[in-house]
Each structure stands twice: as structure tokens, then as C-alpha cells.
Amino acid sequence: NMFSKILSIVQKDQANPTVPLHSGSSVIPSLEELRLDGNLSFENIQYAAMDFGNQYHFLPSAVLYPKSVSDISTIIKHIFEMGITSELTVAAKGHGHSLEGQAQAYRGVVIDMESLQGSEMHFHIGEPPYVDVSGGELWINILHESLKHGLTPKSWTDYLHLTVGGTLSNAGISGQAFRHGPQTNNVYQLEVVTGRGEVVNCSEKQNADLFYGVLGGLGQFGIITGARIALEPAPRMVKWIRVLYSDFSTFSRDQEHLISLESSFDYIEGFVIINRTGLLNNWRLSFDPKDPVQASQFNSDGRTFFCLEIAKYFNPDETVITNQKIDSLLSELNYIQSTLFFSEVSYVEFLDRVHVSELKLREKGLWEIPHPWLNLLIPKCRIQDFAVVVFGKILTDTSNGPILIYPVTKSKWNNRTSIVTPEEDVFYLVSFLSSAMPSSTGTDGLEHILTQNKRILYFCEMAHLGMKQYLPHYSTPEEWRAHFGPRWELFVRRKSTYDPLAILAPGQRIFQKAT
């Protein structure tokens, strides 16, 4: 098919560095003549064909390192004005943590959004507090800067070394989403460069169609160059707790109970442990009530466990009342009583927890390997069916990486955005975060994991679970149409309004540029 053809061309290009990196048209010289504050580079751009997934590598023709929003507008306007005579497409690259080449542009221009990062963050301390940041800003930097004002964003991802534009183009979900909605629900305003090269400010009140289109819009309608992020007073400390269940329905009932409460934990997630063989032989020996990390490391000895992970924010002068609240919430749950893992950490330590694992994996050379991840949204009414088959039959262990599972409430997701979710008030995020050992042909190899992912997807389809992919990945227009369902018409209409030549985010492979 078309895609494997492209892939083979790219591979050939990369194997033979003497092959020109761009099509021989006059397009590239015309780009070189543009007046820019930053610069456009045609060399050493291989990194723009890489991402966290490490499975797709499409080499662009050039990388733009913008120093201003007008650089981005200039490039896109120029390509737009060339019309169908040019094949050039444009991809914004945030931190490049996509999984299947979504931030790449084969023979196009990749915009390195982090180059915009130097621009100052502007805090509004009044009511409501917010911060104006660049679209290429990393969430970890926003956290540190906000804390200097005693403030913090409300909704997060599990990992903070991602850009604002990258997560807002998807949703941005973590254990706070049940309460605050995804990150896309916690933005007041955006500055966007459309596929026509126009710079547009948009919000709920101004250019609302573009605002909602861009949120969860997979980069299809514009490049987010600025965002106004909602803030709230920051807590100093976090009580971080993990408890175990051996029965899925008890586990999920407790999760659903917790997210339904008016006053609950501040963070609610969970994960699955199937036949896990870790460094330790007996998980009971590894029991350390001070370290919740231990809950994920024990040897589950052929069995399946479900770990509820919860956190309560507090300030040091609220310790007594916080402990009482936690005791009261825990008393309503039905976990295995001897498995309470409890820890107290700083707010930053808690939010930036995945970075610690990143550093450890990097040290062992296990970070920059293929990541065949699969992220699914499953309606609550079918989560039992899903668990019985997927955790009970399809997967035999979780040694290739964590499997996260937690419910969120649809009412907290603004349904005017481009995000597609299942049709039920409560749905679960289930994330299979596998790592594949390079060149392994065993159960830790890429082929095996991809086959397993396909079996999971096939089961969801055959059982009509009403599943929707998060960070969706499809290769045919029919699949995209099915993904969007009744929202497809709106998505197409927005595309033809804001990016009529389909210049933007070609790596999502939803639309093809007209030439």
C-alpha cells in the first residue's frame, strides 16, 4: 500500500546519504529566501524523523527553528500560497513523544516548537489565576514557574516532559481528570496559526469553532503557538497511596465509587499486575509501607492483581485533618487489607514521578527503544467484559511494561472539542505502555507485542465494546471516519475551513495534501 511504499522510500533515503533529502523541485530554494527571525535548517535534521514510539521514521526536507510566531505564520503562508504546485506539508514537533510518527512530515517542514520556549511566561495572579505560555513550553517548566507564585495547573499527564501544544492536541489525561477534566478543559484561550498562515486568537467567546476544533484536534486545524492555562493554589505535599485487589470487579467498583464522590482523593488511577516476575521472589517480603513504588515491583506469582493508586494533596498545617479524611475514604474501600502502601512526598516529586523512571531506564539504554503503546477508552458498562478477556486470556504477563486503568467522568470533558470519547457517562482509560527489546523475536519483541495489540483491538471490535482509541492511530480514511463516527462531518468541515490544502500534521495520516 501507499504507506509501505513511502516507508521504503524513506528507508532508502536514509540508507544512502547521497540521495537528496528533498524533492528536486524549486520549492526549497524559495523557502530559503524567506525572511525569518529564527532559522531554517536543511542539515542534521534526522532527529525530526524520530519519536518516542521509535517505529516510524519519515525524514523531512527542512526543520524550522522559529524565534517568533511570525516565523511560523510566514512559512505556512508561503506554502499555502504555493497552492497545489507544492507537495510541502508542515508538522509541529513538540517534544517528539508521539508514538507513530504523528509529529513527522515526510519531505516537508518540521517546526521545532521548543525553539519558541524561551519566551517568558506571564502570570495573572487575580481571580481566576492563569498563565500565558508558548505552545512549545514543557509542562515541567510551567509547574516550576507556577510554584514560584504558589500556583499550579490543575490537570496533568503522568509525565511532564511533554509540550503544551502536544498534549492539548490530544487531551492530556492523568489521575486528576476525573475531577478537572483533561488538560483541554483547563485552557482559557489559545493563539493559533492556521493552515492558511493566519495568526488567530481564540477562546470560548472568540472564534470558538477554531478554539474547540484545535483542542484534541490532532494538529489538523492549526499550530498552537500560545495557551492561557488555568491555575489554582498549589499544595506543598502529597499523601501517595497504593492498595491491591485480587478481584477486578471489586477494584473497579471502588474506583468508580471514589470518582463519584463530591469530596474525594485529588488523584485516582490504577494498574494491572499479571504474573509479574520482578527482581524479588516473594512480593510479601518486598512489602514496604513507606514506598508505593514497591507495589508495582513484587512478583505476583502467577496471579493477577489490580492496584488502586490514589493521592491526597495537603499543606503541612493540615496533616491531622488530611489523615482523618484519608482514613475515612479508605474505610469505604474493599482492598486486601494487608496491602496498604503509603508514602508522603513533595508535590513536585509526586507530579514528576515518571521522570525518575526515565532516568533509570536511560541509564540502562532502555528508554530509546520501540514503544508499541496502545491507549483505549472503554465505556464503563463493558469494562468487565474487557477485563475478563484481555487481562484473563489475551495477556499472559505485564513484564513488557505497565498497564494503566482508571475511570473518568464524561461530564468533565467539553463535548465541543475534537476529542472522541465513548458514549457513556463514565469511561475508562486503559493504557498498555509496552517497551520492545530491539531485535528480540521473543515475547518481549516488537512483533509479539504488536500482535497482542492487534488481538486486543480485534476483540474490542468483535465484541462491539464501543471503544475509542486515545492518541488514535489509523492508516485508512475509512478507519478515521469510523473513529470519528457522527463527528466526522464536523472534523472535515473544520479541516476545509482552517487548513483547506491539508498542509498541517501529515503524520496523523487523516488527510492527504492535494497536489
Residues that bind ligand FAD (CB under 6 A): 51-52, 91-98, 102-103, 113, 135, 157-159, 162-163, 165-167, 169-174, 218-219, 223-224, 471, 505, 507-508
How near is the Cβ of 384 to ligand FAD at its closest, in Å? 24
Phi, psi of 201 (to 5 degrees): -90, 140
How near is the Cβ of 99 to ligand FAD at its closest, in Å? 6
**List 97, 180, 371, 448, catalytic entry:** 97
Choice between 91 and 258, CB closer to ligand FAD: 91
Choice between 155 and 294, CB closer to ligand FAD: 155
How near is the Cβ of 236 to ligand FAD at its closest, in Å? 23
For residues 381 and 51, give the distance between their C-alpha atoms in angstroms, rounded to a whole number.
Answer: 35
Residue, CB closest to ligand FAD: 165
**List 124, 145, 149, 158, catalytic entry:** 158
- Give residues with Cβ within 8 angstroms of 337, minimum separation 6: none
Choice between 66 and 299, CB closer to ligand FAD: 66
Is residue 309 flagged as an active site residue?
A: no
Cα angle, residue 376 at apex, residues 370 and 381 outer, rounded to 5°? 155
Choice between 52 and 265, CB closer to ligand FAD: 52
How near is the Cβ of 104 to ligand FAD at its closest, in Å? 8
For residues 425 and 431, give the distance between their C-alpha atoms in angstroms, rounded to a whole number.
Answer: 20
Helix (H, G, I), strand (E, B) or coil at 268: strand
Is residue 269 flagged as an active site residue?
A: yes
Helical spans, DSSP H, in 352-425 = 353-363, 383-389
Strand (E) or helix (H) holding 457: helix 446-462
Choice between 57 and 283, CB closer to ligand FAD: 57
Please, what's the largest Cα pairwise distance for the chain?
70
**List 100, 191, 256, 269, catalytic entry:** 269
134 secondary structure, DSSP code: E
Cα angle, residue 428 at apex, residues 422 and 434 outer, rounded to 5°? 110
How near is the Cβ of 152 to ligand FAD at its closest, in Å? 17
Closest listed residue to residue 220, CA positions, set 2, 420, 436, 439: 420
For residues 291 and 285, give the distance between their C-alpha atoms in angstroms, rounded to a whole number.
Answer: 13
Neighbours of 252 (CB within 10 A): 22
How near is the Cβ of 393 to ligand FAD at its closest, in Å? 27
Helix (H, G, I), strand (E, B) or coil at 152: strand
Length of the chain: 515
Choice between 38 and 507, CB closer to ligand FAD: 507
Residues marked as catalytic: 97, 158, 269
